[in-house]
Structure 1
Amino acid sequence: MDFKTRTLQELRAARGMLASRRTLLGFDGFVDTIVTPVALRASQGENFTPFAGIAEFGQRIVGAAGKSTNIELYPRMDKLGGNGPIMANALLAQGARVTYVGALGEGTVHPVFADLAQHAEVISLCAPAHTVAAEFNDGKIMLGLMRSLDEITPEKISAVLGADGYRDALARSDLVALVNWTMIPNLTAVFTDLVERVLPQTPVRPGRLFFFDLCDPEKRSRADLAYALATIAKFEQFGRVTLGLNLKEAQQVHATLGFAPLTEAEEGLRQMAADIRQHLDLTTVVVHPKESAACATRDATHWVPGPYVAQPLITTGAGDHFNAGFTAGQLIGLSPESCLGVGVCTSGHYVRTARSPSHGDLETFLANWQ
């Protein structure tokens, strides 16, 4: 039996279970403007040639050194953004109960988060950040305005939720997902506050999961990254910890922990996940490049291919959808391999349709995956 059949069987057997699972996510929030950079315009509207890829786009920029250049960004859509809100929406689509705490609006919730606010319990800490996401066939470049995220501190979270409210939100959650460490300067302080002050006073919930996503830590120093990773490891005393990493993030973490580079093939991905997991003594580490996904648990390593598509409809948010699928699988007790399968299918469905899949959509996707 191949992994797709096993994943489909496990997913069908767990149908409806996610509705009883509570999740708490935080703390970012972005308004994303998705754009296509224009290489050559013929006339108005969409009558233009986009850049072939990031390299060609980069050459245009490098060629402007000492001069100047004008690059048109053709708008595709404004949408809810941020690792946390996108992951929250994807979990809602699959049937989970969601509480979201983050940068959703100053005073009132920003309109892009209106649908999230309608289906989840939401608590805003500050104004959202803004990202212009330039998408290419071979990746994306995210240009962010993020000053409002400086307001996300342990003190602000406690003040908005209240001491009892903070502990209550944690106490009733089966999954606590804390994401976008890179772009929230004070998030390590939030982690420290949780493990030293808040969680020791919070009732234990059997089987509680913690999930962390760093979000491209290249702009943070190795010392900052190493300290954050060590702090994340301390959450193991309060539940089972999963660290989710895309390929670039995994390579950065792997190097920061002192390991030599590995191949990007299946064997290297498995070993990278295992090295990181063992070094930090976490329950699970996941590595998910575009074409596949691997994870390491305390018992074994696992790998699955992904339903890669050469020309996706959207790529911004694909990793957050993978994270939602993987953690949804964990919440309903799927095997690690099937969690990977649900992760790659959640992402695969999203990049093809620009829509977060339901549980039924995932079953259909798996049944028709060739």
Structure 2
Amino acid sequence: MLLFYWIKMPRRNWNMVPDMNEKLQHIQQALQNASTLLCGKKIAAGFDGFVDSIVKVVNYKNDYGTVFFRTISEFGTYISSKSGSGFSLESEELIQKLGGNMPIMANALAGMGIGVNCVGAFGVPNVAPAFTGMHANCELHSYTNPGFTTAMEFADGKIMLAQMTDLNHANWDTIKQTVGLEKLTEVFTQAELICLVNWSELDHSNSMWQGLLDDVLTGPQSTQKQFFFDLSDCSKRSAGAITSAIKLIEQFGTYGQVTLSLNRNEANIFYRTFIDDVLPEDMQLIGEKLFTALKIDTIVIHNSKISIAWDKNGTYINEPTFISDPKISTGAGDNFNAGYCLAVLLGFNAEAALMMANSTSNIYMNTGESPGITELAAYFGG
């Protein structure tokens, strides 16, 4: 069942569409015409790539079977109780699959019928087996070997243990030498939407972004572009590095419209970096302060219970149906981002984009599969 709750905010205006039923019909009609609306549109995305092992952690076993740790809190309490001694943990792998924010997001967008040029860590000299099954609409341009992530899933979240392998040594020069500047220029200048995600896990992300600005996006572009950024969990990155990243994001705004997507943890880090050490409890207040302080066209903050967007036209709030026991949670944020970007390419504003983002993420968590246009249209049809 599709449930949306809206709170009217000052300055909110969506093309003068007066009520929610009409807005839902507008989205559904756009999805039915998506193949025409998306025809010829291209996305360029970078720069990560991981192989994900999705596991559940064993708590204990008895005559009736295996009992897994249900929550992170339960798991944390168990670990703390073992302080001062050695212990072992057993995990059960549910699936091994392609991973990384960019590949998951790109694969979801490709399944919606959009061509995506993916510049990432897919393996050299050959693409790793985990990525060979990516959607045919994805064209892979690999510059190094992927990382490996063990994703421990719980009902209330996940713990990601990443092994970076060659990713920590790759920079913009690596990408230029491997992919080639001519191909990179073709990929990024022809794209209507450029998605740059998972900044936090790549040591040389700022080098890669600066390289795009210095070597590729030079001079006036033929059309104004859309840029989408998601820095991912910035907990291990310094305030100076985060500040440098934001200055680069603001430079991309020279060439078009910029959207920055944050989860609640990332928004908290940004608030402490740019606003104040004393953190408000109200997520909306955090976002309002960040939107005022940063020179970014649209800021989105989302978690499992609420999503909020800010742009020059107003503030938009969407509360999706909460999924207490998802089939899969790893990749839910990437599917949220894919849904948002789909809406941007369809010409929707931030309000409708939040609806599309949450619907895409909900379908993914419920089914374990990224939805295509048909599934999204059916979901909005109730």
Shared fold (TM-score, shorter chain, > 0.5)? yes
Measure the CA separation in 1 of the matches of 2:174 and 2:285: 39
Q: Which amino acid aligns with 1:204?
A: Q
Measure the CA separation in 2 of the matches of 1:205 and 1:64: 61
Matched, 1:116 2:134: yes
Which residue does the alignment assign to 1:27? Answer: 47
Question: How far does residue 18 in structure 1 lie from its aligned partner after superposition?
Answer: 2.3
- Aligned residue for 2:285, secondary structure, equals helix
Question: How far does residue 62 in structure 1 lie from its aligned partner after superposition?
Answer: 1.5
> Which residue of 226, 238, 250 corresponds with 2:255?
238
C-alpha contact 1:182 1:220 (8 A) present in aligned 2: yes
Which residue does the alignment assign to 2:245? Answer: 228
Q: What is the 5 A alignment of 1:281-360? A: 281-360=295-374
Which residue does the alignment assign to 2:27? Answer: 10
Q: What is the 5 A alignment of 1:139-150? A: 139-150=157-168
Matched, 1:219 2:233: no
Which residue does the alignment assign to 1:94? Answer: 112
TM-score, L = length of structure 1: 0.93
- Larger % of helix: which? 1
Q: Which amino acid aligns with 1:242?
A: T
Q: What is the 5 A alignment of 1:29-178? A: 29-42=49-62, 47-116=65-134, 118-178=136-196
- Aligned residue for 1:237, secondary structure, equals helix
Which residue does the alignment assign to 2:204? Answer: 186
C-alpha contact 2:110 2:135 (8 A) present in aligned 1: no
Measure the CA separation in 1 of the matches of 2:21 and 2:250: 32
Q: Which amino acid aligns with 1:319?
A: G
Please say which of residues 167-176 and 133-142 is displaced more in the overlay.
167-176
C-alpha contact 1:243 1:284 (8 A) present in aligned 2: yes
C-alpha distance after superposition, 1:92-136 (max 9, x if no partner): 111111111100012111111112264311111111100000000
Measure the CA separation in 1 of the matches of 2:165 and 2:55: 22
C-alpha contact 1:19 1:97 (8 A) present in aligned 2: no
Relative contact order higher in (CA < 8 Å, ≥ 6 apart): 2
Question: How far does residue 58 in structure 1 lie from its aligned partner after superposition?
Answer: 0.8
Question: How far does residue 301 in structure 1 lie from its aligned partner after superposition?
Answer: 1.0
- Aligned residue for 2:348, secondary structure, equals coil
Measure the CA separation in 2 of the matches of 1:325 and 1:4: 20
After superposition, the Cα gap between the structure-2 partners of 1:8 and 1:215, relative to the gap in structure 1 and judged at 3 Å, is farther
Q: Which amino acid aligns with 2:50?
A: F
Which residue does the alignment assign to 1:206? Answer: 223
Q: Which amino acid aligns with 2:236?
A: K
Question: How far does residue 197 in structure 1 lie from its aligned partner after superposition?
Answer: 3.4
Q: Which amino acid aligns with 1:193?
A: G
C-alpha distance after superposition, 1:208-229 (max 9, x if no partner): 1111111100011112112211
Q: Which amino acid aligns with 1:93?
A: G
Measure the CA separation in 1 of the matches of 2:55 and 2:22: 37
Question: How far does residue 282 in structure 1 lie from its aligned partner after superposition?
Answer: 0.8
C-alpha distance after superposition, 1:323-349 (max 9, x if no partner): 000011011101211100000000000
Aligned residues: 361
TM-score, L = length of structure 2: 0.90
C-alpha contact 2:28 2:380 (8 A) present in aligned 1: no
Measure the CA separation in 2 of the matches of 1:345 and 1:245: 17
C-alpha distance after superposition, 1:32-62 (max 9, x if no partner): 0000011111259xx2111131111111212
Measure the CA separation in 1 of the matches of 2:187 and 2:140: 12
- Aligned residue for 1:209, secondary structure, equals strand
Measure the CA separation in 1 of the matches of 2:333 and 2:222: 28
C-alpha distance after superposition, 1:268-326 (max 9, x if no partner): 33333332233221111110111121111122111111122110000000000000000
Could you list the runs of 5+ residues in structure 2 that have no partner in the other structure?
A: 1-17
Measure the CA separation in 1 of the matches of 2:289 and 2:353: 20
C-alpha distance after superposition, 1:3-29 (max 9, x if no partner): 465144234235222243100111111
